Structure 1
Amino acid sequence: MTQAYSPDAPDRDEIDRMSGPVVVEFGTDWCGHCQAAQPLIADAFDDHHSVTRLKIEDGKGRRLGRSFGVKLWPTLIFLRDGEEVSRLVRPRDSAEIKRALNGIDRHGQED
Structure 2
Amino acid sequence: MTTTLEYVKTAPERAELDTTRGPLVVEFGTDWCGHCRAAQPLIAQAFQGHGAVRHMKIEDGSGRPLGRSFRVKLWPTLVFLRDGKEVARLVRPGDVAQISDAIAQIEAPSAQ
Q: TM-score range by the shorter chain?
A: over 0.9
Alignment of 1:80 with 2:82, yes or no, is yes
- Secondary structure of the 2:73 match is coil
What TM-score results when the alignment is normalised by the length of structure 2?
A: 0.93
Amino acid at match of 2:12: P
Amino acid at match of 1:28: T
What TM-score results when the alignment is normalised by the length of structure 1?
A: 0.94
What is the CA–CA distance in structure 1 between the aligned matches of 2:71 and 2:102, rounded to whole Å? Answer: 19
For residue 12 of structure 1, the aligned residue among 11, 14, 17 is 14
What is the CA–CA distance in structure 2 between the aligned matches of 1:106 and 1:68, rounded to whole Å? Answer: 23
Q: Structure 1 regions of 5+ residues with no counterpart?
A: none
Q: 2:92 maps to which residue? A: 90
Share of identical aligned residues, percent? 64
- Secondary structure of the 2:46 match is helix
Q: Structure 2 regions of 5+ residues with no counterpart?
A: none
Q: 1:102 maps to which residue? A: 104
Work out the number of aligned pairs and report it. Answer: 107
For residue 40 of structure 2, the aligned residue among 38, 41, 46 is 38
Provide Cα deviations, 1:10-65, integer angstroms capped at 9, x if missing partner.
00000001000000000000000000000000000002110010100000110000
| Runs ≥4 residues deviating over 3 A | none
Q: 1:22 maps to which residue? A: 24
**For the aligned residues, what is the CA RMSD?**
1.1
